[in-house]
Amino acid sequence: MPGHEFTGVVTEAGPAVTRFAVGDPVAVGNIVDACGECALCRAGLGVGPGTRVAVAGLGGLGHLAVKLAVALGADTSVVSRSPDKADDARRLGARRLIVSTDPEQMADARDRFDVVIDTVSAPHDLGPYLRLVAMDGTLSHLGHLGPLTVETTDLLVGRKKLSSPTSAERPPTSFDGTTDACPAAVRSGTRRRGPLPTARRCGRAVR
């Protein structure tokens, strides 16, 4: 029994299936549905041309965050503990790598970014990342799902905001419909195919 997010390859397809073939790579997210009408569905990423974005962590989630930020036209940087990630960051479209273990680099990047996307999965101090956020900017925390502690002065100085995204998917992006929903993501090479929907759409999703 797989977990709530997984990838694989189609090994068999029934006679009524038209959108998938044996050998196709597929992936299933934790939520494959959306109403398209509520406030969460309508809300944007807050990222676009001219936005200064930093992505903390360059694992699987960080890779996607960088590609999407670049595709949306943001001036994108990567924050990583290791300088070894510099080539990966640039290949994904980031303009620069900031080494979080280098005090001088972190000081130079202070108050620089409109949005910092924190994808680090282990418990960690948010202070260094909040100090990278510019006036009225946002630290979007989506890596570690657990308790955290924040120094309120890191928020007060610069009127900074701490947010956490929801988890959902717009209907047009399901089942390889990414082209209609986010052409920029397709141009960047970010594609998703999901053959297993919620029960409500199970009867027609893989046809």
The residue assigned the tokens 């052409």 is: 183
Q: Give the pLDDT confidence score for residue 174 in this predicted structure.
A: 42
112 vs 36 pLDDT, higher one: 112
What pTM was estimated for this model as a whole? 0.71
Q: Give the pLDDT confidence score for residue 204 in this predicted structure.
A: 34
Query: What count of Cα atoms within 13 Å lies in the side-chain half-sphere of residue 24?
Result: 19
> For strand 6-9 and strand 25-28, is the pairing parallel, antiparallel, or unpaired?
antiparallel
51 vs 205 pLDDT, higher one: 51
Average pLDDT, the chain: 80
198 vs 84 pLDDT, higher one: 84
Instruction: State the CATH class of domain 43-145+152-163.
Output: alpha beta
Query: What count of Cα atoms within 13 Å lies in the side-chain half-sphere of residue 10?
Result: 18
Q: Give the pLDDT confidence score for residue 27 in this predicted structure.
A: 80
Confidence of residue 148 (pLDDT cuts 50, 70, 90): confident
Whether residue 33 is predicted with pLDDT greater than 50 in this model: the reply is yes
The model's pLDDT over 170-190, given as tens digits with 9 standing for 90+, comes to 454 444 433 343 444 444 444
Q: Give the pLDDT confidence score for residue 149 in this predicted structure.
A: 87
Question: By percentage, how much of the chain surpasses pLDDT 70?
Answer: 72
Confidence of residue 206 (pLDDT cuts 50, 70, 90): very low
Confidence of residue 60 (pLDDT cuts 50, 70, 90): confident
Using alpha carbons, select from 191, 199, 168 the residue that is nearest to residue 31.
168
Q: Give the pLDDT confidence score for residue 207 in this predicted structure.
A: 35
Alpha carbons 194 and 26: distance in angstroms, whole number = 6
Burial of 82 (0-12, 13-18, 19+ CB in 10 A): exposed
Alpha carbons 118 and 31: distance in angstroms, whole number = 21
Q: Give the pLDDT confidence score for residue 195 in this predicted structure.
A: 38
